[in-house]
Structure 1
Amino acid sequence: MISRFLRAATCAVITGGAFAAADPSDSYKKEIVPLLENYCYSCHGEGTAKGKFSMDDFKDLPKHLDDRKHWLAVWRNVRSQIMPPSDEDQLATEEKKKLLAWIEKDVFKLDAANPDPGRVTIRRLNRTEYQNAVFDLLGVEYDTREEFPADDTGYGFDNIGDVLSMSPLLMEKYIAAADSVVALALPDGAAAQVPRVDIAGKEFKGAGADSGWMPFAKTQKVSFDQEIKWDGDYQIKVEYSVHGATEATTDEAMLRVTAAGAEVGKVSLGWDQRRVIELTGKAALKKGKQTLEIALNPARRPLPSEEELFFKVQRVIVQGPLSGEQQELAKGYRMIFVDGPPPDTVSGKDRYARKIMRSFVSRAFRKPLDEPTIDRLAKVVRDVTEEPGKTFQDGIKQAIAICLASPRFLFRVEFQPEPNNPAKIVQLDEYSLAARLSFFLWGSVPDDELLSLAFNNKLRANLPAQVDRMLKDPRSKRLVKNFIGQWLQARDVETVAMSAKTILGKSSNREAAKTFDPRLRSDMQTETEMLFEFILREKRPAEELISARYSFLNERLANFYGIDGVKGEDFKPVDLTEHPERGGILAQGTFLMVTSNPTRTSAVKRGLFVLDNLLGTPAPPAPPGVPELESAVNSANPHPTMREMMEIHRKKPECRGCHARMDPIGLGLENFNALGQFRTQEHGKSIDASGQLLTGEKFADVAALKEILATQRKQDFYRCLAEKLLTYAIGRGVEYYDSTTIDLLTARMDANKGNLRELVQGIIESAPFQKRRGDD
């Protein structure tokens, strides 16, 4: 199968322009110069050098054809459709293929049969990967968003090796985090913990009340019947959060928690930005089912200009009996002490320590431990255990903390026998491949099955089965959340600044919140993630991300979109055949909000987003001193439509070229307001969503625009998606030498009707994922 794609891509590269001359100079003169004369020399030849770039000012032709820097600029600009400028004659599709194929073959000397895998900078775990790793290794929920600074991004992602640097201050935070993590995993008395039960907030139900969203303005209560195994005193901890208002408000409510009718605790609630707030108390409980109740009562109403607040139950923890009569092993203890409590003898403890280190650290370091390292860690355990007042558990905690602060855990390192030789290309060892696979699909360390296959040198032989297994695992949701969250900026929808009052024309934020419920932000993100996950798991065509005539909605989001017939809080598949304007990411609130301004839509942002993230043809950066769009407003037309403002803006010569690329797409989406609602008028004027793409395709409305992007521009979308997912998978930006790999991936998608799952599998089998070379 792979060889078939390889041959196809090779033929495509070599025959793209129907030439195969042995001498690059001959093919350049016969095939390329005519194209340059027709489309380039008016600005970059014959004595003209716009942008200080000339294409015919050279003395030595062979040297000119070896000038990779020169042709790289040409290749990038032609490939992304930045050149020729949009107001000049454009290369025909076959002409563009011919020029790009010649550069790739005769200048870059790319070999589709042996693609350059590139190299990835050694990099630390980003904070998401660190959080996932400590959870998978130790069962610890460690909030890295609170403890670590936000990671830098490159090429749109936060797992890029070149930007994941390590400052001394951050290293100090990692060292402190190691101690905190082991303390959470192995608290004092972990081998004899008081039993605890965690109850998810969604389990609490009440008549007309939703534990996930209880308004301060309403008296209400929710409850849950918990089976109590023993009589005794219990600790009850309620973890909750306050939502709704984006700025401080005087809205207040009283929270009261009871267990079996007895008060556990109460507290006055107000505006609070903390992600998790706790209320803890005690109650005497009897064996059997006992009711835990959370009640909310209004206390002080907000001012008319202020937004309302809402209470959300996240989790309730019941722990007891507190007398210690009943005991259980802590989760972290069970994960670390694989054979239970340690032996009594010194030699037995030493053997057990070595077994624990082999089991835990081989996963943490993603490779088997060498004996000297095991010896040193076992000595740490022994030395700590021998200290006055210390135990074997304290020794294990110290050894694990050392491992969590080690570069071998914090950094993703791949062995290269000749790291400074760019000509030396090697296949990754199977442990490095296991790590790449697990961080790609799970955002975390490999599990025992991957490491076992790597140990037996059988991982490559079982890759398809392992990919299937890993995508069925719940941890694969991390791929969906992390990739979609960054590629489509879906994770920004929760925090992007929007003035719902202004957009909806309401008198106050409180009135606006009746239409734009604060929960809708989370609903929109869920909709986008579920669409991608469904297409991936069901092996659907990737273009359905644009053209799907279905989506996943709950009642609240469906009502906001104007779609009837959806009931309940849970998300379910919804047929959108009767709503052709909806369906696909371009009609989802996530995309429409993150590409808008706080008070209005932005045709520029929406058009740029599609060009950059769906078609892979980004527009050049804006020239300095570009006036604000609002400058188009005047007394003769105090409320212009977006199209009218853009038409005035485009009249400026310095703006016309770029906007010819962006505006048709952005204006084609103008029927959606800045919050994602569909509309037919703007300022009392009918919205014209028709347009024509730079490549010539005409459309009448958003439904027709989506159809064009998913059919006539499908190849551009395949290529762009392949580049984005490959970037995320390998942790570096896509370079010119990756074009042969991208050709393979798009050919594979074509041969499999756009199957998104095939793209994932193809990336995992690709040279950049499986191999590496030395640095330049």
Structure 2
Amino acid sequence: MLARAILTSLLLPAAVMAAEPEDSYKKEIQPLLEDYCFSCHGDGTAKGKFSMDDYKDLTAHLSDRKHWLPVWRNVRSQIMPPSDKDQFKPAEKRKLQEWIEKNVFKLDLENPDPGRVTIRRLNRTEYQNAVFDLLGVEYDTKDVFPPDDSGYGFDNIGDVLSISPLLMEKYIAAADEVVALALPQGAAAQVPRIDIDGKAFKVPFDAKTTGRWLPFAKKETVTVDQDIPYDGDYQIKVEYAIKGATEATVHEANMVVKAGGSKVGDVSLGWDQRRVIDLTGKAPLKKGKQTFEISLTPGRPPAAGEEELFFTLQRVIVQGPLGGDKREYAKGYRMIFVDGPAPTEPTARAKYARKIMRSFVSRAFRKPLDDSTIDRLVDIVNEVDRQPGKEFEDGIKQAIATCLASPRFLFRVEIQPEPNNPAKIVPLDEYSIAARLSFFLWGSVPDDELLSLAFNTKLRANLHAQIDRMLLDPRSERLTENFIGQWLQARDVENVPISAKDILGLGSNRDAARAFDVRLRSDMQTETKMLFDFVLRKDRPAEELISARYSFLNERLAGFYGIKGVEGEDFQPVDLTEHPERGGLLTQGSVLMVTSNPTRTSPVKRGLFVLDNILGTPSPPPPPDVPKLESASTAAGKNPTMREMMEIHRSKPDCRGCHARMDPIGLGLENFNALGQFRPDDHGKKIDAGGVLLTGEKFSNVGELKDVLATKRKGDFYRCLSEKLLTYAIGRGVEYYDAPTVDQLVERLEKNNGKLRELVYGIVESAPFQKRRGDE
């Protein structure tokens, strides 16, 4: 078919080819514009300084991409025509969009434009993951690097990941710190280490109370039994944090740590915002099962109006015996020195250095290196090794630090021929595909299996199998963490400003903190992540993210939602058939909180959230000097409902158009307060959650709204989800020339019952993921 079209185009006269768009415009498109657009943008009218019939040459007009791009975008996102005007019928809208894509944008449906991705550095999350996967080092980049800028809703977008001289200095310093953690002095012969998670510490005969959450106000002791391999003196390090009050308080408690019956240390606890605090001491331990004990005793209570504090145990690190007679290789040492200690003979040492550096650098730089680069790194190892007081390990450390500060590690570089030729489109080499795949699904560098397949040019032939393998790997939890955290703003839940005191109508912040336990913020994040993870791993339809009649809850979150029968700290699947108001992302506390104001719900924020993140039809920005919603409360009478205030607010001409899009959705979620609890009424007045979407679908409650979004508007959700995940995967925003790719992804979802994994397959196989073109 394509060959026939090309042959036909060669035989037709140029005049005929040029006339086709003009004829189709006059016969098919201009009548649509006259019916729906010219009242504001034609016949002498040019609202927003935009006219659709003010041109001298029709051919030039139909080639003016800058003119037609806003038309295409605004019609596609339903910003135009305004909501108070007649709307395109679905077939008419599709005809206009397809005509613009074919005749103005000149899109090739068979060969979509892959676009170009700006060379980008690793963001701080990717850096942290990479050094952990390469060296086994837990390096907290949030304490070292500034927050990354975001573009198109994500922090892995090449265009915004700039690097300054100051940041480069931080990377150089970080390289030395990471290597020192991976290979501490004497790393080849460290004393044995045992890590005990804080959740393992429990109150005897009360498995629900763990070291993860102990109130200052209650005397409590948590213990754990741990097998100790040898007799001797041990170093005990307790890592913990203080939670609760967001502002300084005088609340205090005392902590005592014991190991094997011996006191390790004690400390007075108070308000402290550090993410990790530690107490270190020593204790003699005997071989066999020993008890570790942490006790809290109440101290000074909080003053009137102050919130309470809580102790959360993160982990206890046990190292020993300290006498030096028992040694083991550190984790970083085992990952780097794959054949153990270096040989003594100089030629053999140099050969071993080459093996180590080739293995490490191929993973760190995401492709095999040329011999000259390996030679330079081995020279570094040998030069340091020859220095007085230095060892082979010191040379390896210096060479690895050099690699970690190299642009080839810090930047995701994809080499291509003719990089400045925008007409040159080339497939990415398989090493670049391996890197894109690993950073997409794992947020980190490729592993040996991916690199081996790339080396043998077999990765493209095994993409599905590799995707399946990678999604089974625990590292794929990073995809859920980072994508959900940004697409649905779940990252913001723990810090979003919210006043439980005002929302719940309680008398004090202390009462509010007890009713809205700060652990609930983390629980809400977990619920959202577990739903997405379940739909992805179990190959469920994507629309279940909206319509699921189940969720994942623990006892605390279920109790806050008013759902009975859930017990324990661990999250578990919960059937919500008897709670039709629940189920799906839109009724989860995480989404409802980040789309609320500090003291009340916000139908505008909630409506905008759904338009932008679920339907992919964002509303235009508000006009300047929009009056606050509270100004409508006086006119609405005493204790007005949100619907009453919104009706007064959108009666203003400047507000009416946009609010007709947002308000029905936002008010459809009004049964949920700003903390995500369901409520039938507001100030004694029954909440009316019914409405009509701009596209005509009616609903009477949140259950019916979810059903509309997951069925009648399913195509819009598929398109929006495809665009969001594609943006995250390729590191750039979706542009007009990506329309054929997005159409293919939506079609793939529709043909495969919406299975979320099919979307991942489709993105990895798509032109934007597999190819690239030169820059303009």
Letter in 2 for 1:260: G
* Matched residue, 1:547: 547
Q: Residue 661 of structure 1 corresponds to which residue in structure 2? A: 661
Aligned mate of 2:153, from 156, 167, 179: 156
User: SS of the residue aligned with 2:255?
Assistant: strand
- TM-aligned CA deviation for residue 360 of structure 1: 0.3
Distance in structure 2 (CA, Å) of the matches to 1:213 and 1:304: 23
- Alpha-carbon distance in 2 for matches of 1:440, 1:288: 45
Which AA in structure 2 matches 1:240?
Y
Counterpart check, 1:200 vs 2:200: no
Matches within 5 A, 1:498-537: 498-537=498-537
Is the partner of 1:316 in helix, strand or coil?
strand
State the identity as a percent: 76
Q: Quote the Cα distance in structure 2 between the aligned partners of 1:486 and 1:635.
A: 38
Per-residue CA deviations over 1:135-175 (Å, capped at 9, x if unaligned) read 00000000000000000000000000000000011000000
**Per-residue deviation, 1:641:** 1.2
- The residue that corresponds to 1:59 in the other structure is 56
Query: 1:94 is aligned with what amino acid?
Result: A
Look up the SS of the partner of 2:502 in the other structure.
helix
Is 1:69 the counterpart of 2:66? The answer is: yes
- Give the 5 Å matches for 1:12-411: 23-207=20-204, 208=206, 209-411=209-411
| 3-state SS of paired residue (1:634) | helix
SS state at 1:633 partner = helix
**Shift in Å, 1:638:** 3.4
Contact 2:131 / 2:178 at 8 angstroms: preserved in 1? Answer: yes
Q: How far apart in 1 are the matches of 2:181 and 2:635?
A: 65
2:696 corresponds in structure 1 to 696
After TM superposition, where is structure 1 displaced by more than 4 Å over at least 4 residues in a row?
Answer: none
- Deviation of 1:575 (Å): 0.4
Deviation track 1:592-634 (CA, whole Å, cap 9, x = no partner) reads 0000000000000000000000000000000000011111122
Letter in 2 for 1:641: T
CA contact (8 A) 2:636 2:648 kept: no
Shift of 1:724: 0.1
Secondary structure of the residue aligned to 1:23 is helix
Distance 1:634 1:666 in 2: 22
Q: Which amino acid aligns with 2:715?
A: Q
Match of 1:751 in 2: 751
Q: Which amino acid aligns with 2:173?
A: A
The corresponding residue for 1:473 is 473
Q: Provide the secondary structure at the position in 2 that maps to 1:300.
A: coil
> What is the CA-CA distance between 1:636 and the residue it aligns to?
6.7
Aligned equivalents of 1:328, 1:464: Cα separation in 2: 40
SS of the counterpart of 1:671?
Answer: coil
Residues 737-767 of structure 1 show CA distances to partners (whole Å, capped at 9, x for unaligned) of 0000000000000000100010011000000
Counterpart of 1:774, as a letter, is: G
Tell me if the contact between 1:21 and 1:27 (Cα under 8 Å) persists in the aligned partners: no
Aligned to 1:490: 490
CA distance in 2, matches of 1:225, 1:576: 38
- Shift in Å at residue 635 of structure 1? 7.4
For the 8 Å contact 1:198–1:317, the answer to whether it is kept is yes
Residue-by-residue CA offset, 1:397-418 (whole Å, 9 max, x unaligned): 0000000000000000101101
- 1:695-725 per-residue CA deviation (whole Å, 9 max, x = no partner) reads 0011000000000000000000000000000
1:726 aligned onto 2:726: yes
Deviations 1:554-596 (A, max 9, x none): 0000010010110110100000011000000000000000000
Give the match's secondary structure for 2:147. Answer: coil
Aligned position for 1:455: 455
Q: Do 1:201 and 1:211's aligned partners in 2 also have CA atoms closer than 8 Å?
A: yes
Q: Which residue of 2 aligns with 1:9?
A: none
Deviations 1:412-460 (A, max 9, x none): 0101101111110000000000000000000000000000000000000
Q: Distance in 2 between matches of 1:570 and 1:73?
A: 49
Say if 2:416 and 2:426, in contact at 8 Å, map to a contact too.
Answer: yes
Q: Distance in 2 between matches of 1:22 and 1:253?
A: 84
1:387: how far off? 1.2
**What's the CA shift for 1:21?**
11
What one-letter code is carried by the residue in structure 1 that aligns with 2:99?
Answer: W
Structure 1 residues 449, 22: closer, same or farther in 2, change over 3 A?
farther
Rate the CA distance shift 1:276–1:290 in 2: closer, same or farther, 3 A.
Answer: same
Return the alpha-carbon distance in structure 2 between the equivalents of residues 277 and 112 of structure 1: 57
Which string of whole-angstrom CA distances, capped at 9 and with x for unpartnered residues, describes residues 204-226 of structure 1? Answer: 11134321110111111111111
Q: How many residues align?
A: 759
Question: Do the aligned partners of 2:198 and 2:210 also contact (CA within 8 Å) in 1?
Answer: no
CA distance in 2, matches of 1:585, 1:348: 59
CA contact (8 A) 1:592 1:675 kept: yes
Instruction: Supply the distance in 2 between the matched residues of 1:489 and 1:306 (Cα, whole angstroms).
Output: 29
How has the CA–CA distance of structure 1 residues 427 and 680 changed in structure 2, closer, same or farther, with 3 Å as cutoff?
same
CA apart distance, 1:300: 1.0
Q: Which residue number in structure 1 is paired with residue 8 of structure 2?
A: none
Deviation (angstroms), 1:261? 1.1
Q: Report the counterpart of residue 712 of structure 1 in structure 2.
A: 712
- Distance, in Å, in 1 between the alignment partners of 2:405 and 2:513 is 46
Larger CA deviation: 217-226 vs 630-639: 630-639
SS in 1 for 2:513: helix
- Report how far residue 514 of structure 1 moved: 2.1
Output the CA distance in 2 between the equivalents of 1:580 and 1:755.
23
Equivalent pair of 1:185/1:332 in contact (CA under 8 Å): yes
Note the alpha carbon deviations across 1:625-678, whole angstroms, 9 max, x for none. Answer: 001111112277232111111111001110000000000000000000000000
CA distance in 1, matches of 2:562, 2:515: 11
Deviation of residue 304 (structure 1)?
A: 3.0
For structure 1, the residue ranges without an aligned partner over 5 or more in a row are: 4-19
Q: Which deviates further from its counterpart, 637-646 or 549-558? A: 637-646
Query: What amino acid sits opposite 1:709 in the alignment?
Result: L
Secondary structure at 1:640 match in 2: coil
Rounded to whole Å, the distance in 2 between the matches of 1:715 and 1:429 is: 34
Looking at structure 1, the residues matched to 246 and 589 of structure 2 have their Cα atoms a distance apart, in angstroms, of 19
8 Å Cα contact 1:403-1:409 kept in structure 2 = yes
**What's the CA shift string for 1:215-263, capped at 9, x where partnerless?**
1111111111111111111000010111111111111110100011110
The residue type paired with residue 238 of structure 1 is V
In the alignment, the residues of structure 2 paired with residue 364 and residue 717 of structure 1 have an alpha-carbon distance, to the nearest angstrom, of 37
Query: What are the residue-to-residue correspondences of 1:554-565 with 2, within 5 Å?
Result: 554-565=554-565
| Structure 1 Cα separation of the partners of residues 137 and 229 of structure 2 | 26
What is the SS of the residue equivalent to 2:454? helix
Secondary structure of the equivalent of 1:644? Answer: helix
Cα distance in structure 1, aligned partners of 2:264 and 2:53: 83
- The answer to whether the Cα contact below 8 Å between 1:650 and 1:659 also exists between their aligned partners in 2 is yes
Point out the more displaced range, 135-144 or 207-216: 207-216
How many Å separate the matches in 1 of 2:229 and 2:143? Answer: 36
Question: What is the rounded CA distance, in whole Å, between the counterparts of 2:681 and 2:250 in structure 1?
Answer: 37
In the aligned structure 2, how far is the partner of 1:721 from the partner of 1:198? 40
Which amino acid is 1:356 matched to? I
